[in-house]
Amino acid sequence: MDDLTEMLKGTLEGCVLQIIGAEETYGYAITRRLNDLGFADVVEGTVYTILLRLEKKGLVQVTKRPSELGPPRKFYALNDEGRRQLAAFWAKWEYITTRIDRLKEGGR
Amino acid sequence: MNFWDTITGNDLTREWKAIEARAALLPADYRAAWEQIKGHLFIYGDFTGRNLMPIVDSALGLLEETAADGQSIHDVLGDDLAGFCAALAGGEGARTFRDRWREQLNRNVARKLRRLGG
């Protein structure tokens, strides 16, 4: 599906939180996970800017670990505030989707 | 950072040298992207560009990590370099050149309007 990026913009941060929440992981793996889900347009640069934002907001704990080749990788894990934000994201998601579904089905 | 460095920006010159030395080790397509990234980020800089250093450093960090993975630069940054840089600089350096230009423009327009008796 093309042109998903615009629609995804607000929700991608929540998706990344969810992925990090499942297990400690790094940018490349997060991008591949999103690609595998079918979000082909998402590139590592996109994920990286989201990760920086999450870091600045203090939602993640960042650990630098050496990698086999090249510079050390940054690994991300959720902290308590991150878990709160993730729960808030799913609450908002629930709110939006139920209402949009209702609209689609022609109800009020 | 000592006073002399603050005034002269000597430390910035040193940091830039270190950063460019790191960038020189990147593959050719990455280096080309790096040149563009610098151009896009510049507009978010304050007078000395000091606010850009952490941003530039993290952008270069991403390029280093992904180059080591053997990814193509397109896989990493996609088509929207300007968007990537805007997102990188987002929220950082609130008073940028652009804001100042915009303010100046607004002021000038307001002054002209007043003169017209608007």
Considering only alpha carbons, which residue of chain A is nearest residue B63? Answer: A45
Collapsed DSSP state (helix, strand, coil) of residue B37: helix
Task: Count structural domains, chain A.
Answer: 1
ipTM above 0.95, yes or no: no
Q: Which helix (H) or strand (E) holds A62?
A: strand A60-65
Q: pTM for this one?
A: 0.79
pLDDT digits (tens, 9 = 90+) for B57-66: 989 999 999 9
Compare CB distances from B88 to A49, A73, A74 and report the shortest one's residue. Answer: A49
* pLDDT of A27 over the 70 cut: yes
| Strands of A73-78's sheet in order across | A25-26, A73-78, A60-65
- What residues of chain A, 61 to 90, have a C-beta less than 8 Å from chain B? 67, 69-71, 73-74
- DSSP structure class, residue A69: S
* Nearest C-alpha neighbor of B73 from the set B62, B58, B85, B87: B62
Domain residues for the domain of B99 are 3-116
Task: Count structural domains, chain B.
Answer: 1
The enclosing domain of A57 has a CATH number of: 1.10.10.10
How many Å apart are CA A72 and CA A55, to the nearest integer? 17
Domain residues for the domain of A65 are 4-105
